[in-house]
Amino acid sequence: MAIDTDKNSYTVIFAALMVVVVGSILAFLASALRPNIEENERFEKQQNILYAMGVHQNGDDAGSVNFIPTDKVEGEFKNYIKEQLVIEGDKTSANEEAYLIDLKKQLAAKKKGLPYKLPLFIGEKEGKKFYILPMYGKGLWDAIWGFVAVDDAMTVQGVFFDHKAETPGLGANIKMRYFMDDFSGETILKGTQYAGISVAKGNNDPLNKTKDDNEVDALAGATITGNGVSAMIKATVNLYKPFLETIRAK
Amino acid sequence: MGLLTKKDASLILDPLADNNPITIQVLGICSALAITAELKASVVMAVSVMFVLGAGNVVISLMRNIIPSKIRIIVQLIVVATLVIIVDQVLKAYQYELSKTLAVFVGLIITNCIIMGRFEAFALANGPWKSFLDGIGNSLGYGVILIIVGFFRELLGSGTLFGIPVLGDPIEKTGLYATGYENNGFMIIPPAALIVVGIIIWVQRTKNPALVEEN
């Protein structure tokens, strides 16, 4: 039996059927895989937070990023992260699940003038305290995010950046060690102002020896991603300014 | 009888040279420019496209007699998008690290004109086995160009291959850099890919004048 594939009714029925079939395949797949995916995302967040405070398995060479393996990360996260705080207006409370707060949603709520929560993590390693702030911003194509760890004097102890869809080989290199490592030792203060850290082109310091200039060397060919990183750090620092002030006052 | 007849073999081999999707058919140029700043990304993209094009060609070929011609492009798009999303979700659940690497390529694969081009030009008119071979052949041809371009751009632009420094350290001035050599920053921006592809096309047409169009 030959089907007349040019008929309008056939076209409409075919389209409707295709939508139903494809829709159910994808819906089934998404709900079947959700628990696994969520667990992976949870481990990833813990790995990223620990990475920012310097708990990782990186070698001494400036090679690849090596996280704490997923099977150990939960234990290590409990070991190193002493406090998880949620800042809501002027109130600060402890919350064991603060790391699961989706910063994107909170920032969207802030934009609309609704109440919002800011997570913050206090880690301790070898007797030293780390204050780890989550960051969220815009790159060239899509979202970028990360974590920055500072000490009581507002010196950066480590950062972690990640991105959704920056260009491979260019903007995507913000998650490379040679970029992230440059931030360690920089200060987010300029005098008494919270200036953040800029990703600067032509700062004449490619080896990043000057640590008090609030600048790190940019990635060639990734200007907009770099500007996004600068803006993200600045926004985060401003967002957490009231809390950071209380740490410095201590 | 071998696994492949002569005709089948040419489906795989032709796109590698005289019917190359990038240099002859001029398909998939956008991704060839976007992601070839480093070799690793080129290889990942080549493998991903091979999977999607191979599988997509088979699916479209199996459906070729029932697809209404008025909406065939939309149907093709849905098939590609579904395949890509399925792979992405499965990787996210079981190979999370790998899925992070591939995430940026997902959008680029769906919109890659090679895929739509081969569906339209080949799979709609041929059987599944031939379409599968055509898909593999074209993605190999695409991958070869991607890897050549990635190789030169990463080597000349960053002095590395697969992220490993091969020419010495540009900041400490060791290896080749001690002689005054500098990385060419131009190579890592997209226009450089256009020039490299242009040179490949030039070399290819010089070697095989039959490919040159008459004016």
* Binding-site residues on chain B for chain A (CB distance < 8 A): 34-38, 40-41, 44, 65-71, 74-75, 78, 82, 85-86, 89-90, 92-94, 96, 103-105, 107, 153-154, 163, 171, 185, 188-189
Pair of tokens at residue A226: 């770099």
Pair of tokens at residue A33: 């895989």
Q: How many helices (H) and strands (E) does chain A have?
A: 6, 10
By the CB < 8 Å criterion, does A170 face chain B?
Answer: yes
pLDDT at A28: 94
Chain A nearest CA to B34, separation (Å):
7
Q: What is the CA radius of gyration of chain A?
A: 22
A170 with B37: Cβ contact below 8 A? yes
Across the interface, which of B40, B75, B107 has its CB nearest the CB of A165? B107
Give the integer Cα–Cα distance in Å for A67 and A158. 14
A22 with B69: Cβ contact below 8 A? no
Q: Give residue-wise pLDDT tens across range B35-67.
A: 888 888 888 888 888 988 999 999 999 998 888
Give the integer Cα–Cα distance in Å for A22 and A26. 6
> Residue A73 CB: number of other CB atoms within 10 A?
21
Tell the residue number behind the tokens 């919270």, with chain if given. Answer: A194
pLDDT at A62: 61
Q: Give residue-wise pLDDT tens across range A150-209.
A: 998 889 999 999 998 888 778 888 988 888 988 988 888 888 888 889 898 877 777 777
Strand locations in chain A, DSSP E?
Answer: 81-88, 91-94, 118-125, 128-138, 143-150, 156-163, 189-190, 193-194, 198-200, 215-217
Q: What is the CA radius of gyration of chain B?
A: 19
Residue B178 buriedness (CB in 10 A; 0-12 / 13-18 / 19+): exposed
Q: Where are the domains of chain B?
A: 21-151
The ipTM (two decimal places) reads: 0.73
Give the integer Cα–Cα distance in Å for B35 and A170. 9
What mean pLDDT value characterizes chain B? 84
Q: Give residue-wise pLDDT tens across range B9-36.
A: 888 888 877 778 888 877 778 778 878 8
Please check whether residue B136 is in contact with residue B35, taking contact to mean a CB–CB distance below 8 angstroms: no
Please check whether residue A103 is in contact with residue A145, taking contact to mean a CB–CB distance below 8 angstroms: yes
* Cα distance from N-terminal residue to C-terminal residue, chain A: 84
**Low-confidence stretches of chain A (pLDDT beneath 50):** 1
Chain B nearest CA to A166, separation (Å):
7
Q: Give residue-wise pLDDT tens across range B69-93.
A: 888 889 988 988 898 888 888 888 8
pLDDT at B1: 43
pLDDT at A61: 63
Q: Give residue-wise pLDDT tens across range B169-215.
A: 777 777 788 888 888 878 888 888 889 999 998 998 888 887 777 76
User: At A231, phi and psi to the nearest 5?
Assistant: -65, -40
